[in-house]
């Protein structure tokens, strides 16, 4: 059993992990930057250590400093949360070298799945359906043009090491591809240290549906149903729900079984997510695997009754899963809305001081907010997640609408009005929306 866990993250996910640790009687260690000195995640932890300046490379991406703190605090394990170092092979390797458990999969799996090109190869070898495309990096724009002409427009240009929509662009003409290739390659180099690009066929009017898997070190792997993540702006998720209103039972089970097959082919251990694109005929194609906890994991917790952070910790401690696939429930419907500190029309970040904070108490809200706290420009603008559970999808939508209407965050701009517009839209309420929904039906209005 772990007695002390360092959380190598910040904000709402750090608070979320700490709450489970406290429930399990495990002490917590926080790390914080200069900008986060007064953050609630620092106050909630049993111990807290300053690790550097406000920019992520000075603090939350400072692998050596975080390892130094972990050794000084005598932490048994490190939970990376999501983003930051959560899918960093070097970080997982250093934990192994120092004898500190990394709460996640092995460094080998992180490496393979961290490259979209290598992950495509691995899934093809495992017999998992993938989006038509290539399995090698494209060094020049001339080669990109030749490949796009072969595949046929429209195509999706992607950074191999990308994430969060960075280094990704839909391309529908040769002229657009010429303009997009260099700019996205440069962005990928700047954000991920890797400018490798590849191209795959664009699946139009697609649903973005992901399968949550859990795998222990004893050969047991299960899927915890799916999450519909098709409400996106700039390839970034905004509202997620479980279960998907689009899938039928046969497709749902087929996707779950393929996700388990994919995880087993990798020798995967811990929590992970297989993301798929699903076309209008319910054909599904592997998109990528996230070797970490997802931002939207709460909707899975709400319909299954499982604490995914607790499961991660138990697996990392060496315990076998305490349930079988047949025992995993799927009760009711859950929705999550991400609140961003951003202008709801332009999507530009809106840092500043929160003067008024009034959050509803009748629903789950994962956050790291207080009145008087300053939202800085240094980190991702997501500041809270509102999660609801209802007996039916209609019930859950009504609860989320009420919760967002009751949420008061003043002093900064937020996207709450945009979230309410989504929930009120007839297409969303019908459950047949796709990844083009926000762009086609909200932004153009």
Residue positions annotated with a catalytic role: 292
Backbone angles phi, psi at 125, to 5 degrees: -65, -30
Cα 385 to chain centroid, rounded: 13
Q: What pairing do the DSSP bridges indicate for beta strands 101-102 and 408-410? A: unpaired
From the list 241, 191, 224, 198, the residue with the least C-alpha distance to 83 is: 191
Residue 278 zone, left/alpha/beta (φ > 0; ψ -120 to 50; rest): beta
Give the H or E element holding residue 336: strand 333-340
Locate tokens 């490379």: which residue? 57
User: Are 16 and 30 spatial neighbours (Cβ–Cβ below 8 Å)?
Assistant: no
User: Are 29 and 7 spatial neighbours (Cβ–Cβ below 8 Å)?
Assistant: yes
Helices (H), 193-248: none
Locate tokens 């509102």: which residue? 386
Rounded-to-integer distance, Cα 327 and Cα 19, Å? 26
Sheet of 221-233: strands edge to edge?
A: 284-290, 270-278, 207-215, 221-233, 236-242, 333-340, 382-390, 364-367
Rounded-to-integer distance, Cα 281 and Cα 269, Å? 32
């Amino acid at each position: 059993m772990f007695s002390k866990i360092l959380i190598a993250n910040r904000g709402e996910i750090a608070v979320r992990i700490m709450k489970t640790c406290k429930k399990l009687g495990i002490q917590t260690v926080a790390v914080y930057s200069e900008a986060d000195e007064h953050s609630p995640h620092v106050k909630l932890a049993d111990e807290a250590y300053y690790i550097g300046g406000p920019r992520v490379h000075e603090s939350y991406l400072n692998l050596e400093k975080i390892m130094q703190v972990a050794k000084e605090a005598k932490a048994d394990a490190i939970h990376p949360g999501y983003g930051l170092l959560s899918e960093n092979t070097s970080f997982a390797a250093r934990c192994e070298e120092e004898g500190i458990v990394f709460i996640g999969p092995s460094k080998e799996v992180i490496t393979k799945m961290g490259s979209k090109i290598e992950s495509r190869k691995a899934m093809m070898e495992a017999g998992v359906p993938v989006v038509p495309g290539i399995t090698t990096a494209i060094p020049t724009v001339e080669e990109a043009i030749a490949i796009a002409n072969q595949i046929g427009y429209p195509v999706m240009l992607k950074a191999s090491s990308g994430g969060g929509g960075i280094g990704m662009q839909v391309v529908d003409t040769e002229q657009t591809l010429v303009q997009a290739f260099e700019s996205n390659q440069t962005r990928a180099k700047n954000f991920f240290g890797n400018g490798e690009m590849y191209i795959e066929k664009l699946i139009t009017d697609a649903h973005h549906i992901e399968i949550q898997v859990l795998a222990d070190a004893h050969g047991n792997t299960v899927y915890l149903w799916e999450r519909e993540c098709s409400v996106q702006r700039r390839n970034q998720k905004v509202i997620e729900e479980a279960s998907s209103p689009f899938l039928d039972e046969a497709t749902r089970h087929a996707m779950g079984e393929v996700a388990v097959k994919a995880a087993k082919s990798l020798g995967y251990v811990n929590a992970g997510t297989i993301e798929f694109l699903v076309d209008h005929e319910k054909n599904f194609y592997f998109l990528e695997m996230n070797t970490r906890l997802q931002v939207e994991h709460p909707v899975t917790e709400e319909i299954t009754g499982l604490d995914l952070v607790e499961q991660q910790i138990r697996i990392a401690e060496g315990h076998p899963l305490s349930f079988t696939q047949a025992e995993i429930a799927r009760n009711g419907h859950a929705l999550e809305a991400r609140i961003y500190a951003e202008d709801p029309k332009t999507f530009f970040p809106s840092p500043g001081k929160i003067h008024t904070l009034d959050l509803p108490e009748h629903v789950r809200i994962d956050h790291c907010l207080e009145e008087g706290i300053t939202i800085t420009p240094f980190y991702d603008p997501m500041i809270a997640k509102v999660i609801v559970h209802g007996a039916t999808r209609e019930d859950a939508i009504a609860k989320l609408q009420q919760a967002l209407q009751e949420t008061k965050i003043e002093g900064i701009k937020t996207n709450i009005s945009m979230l309410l517009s989504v929930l009120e839209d007839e297409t969303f309420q019908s459950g047949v929306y796709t990844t083009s929904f926000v762009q086609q039906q909200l932004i153009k209005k």
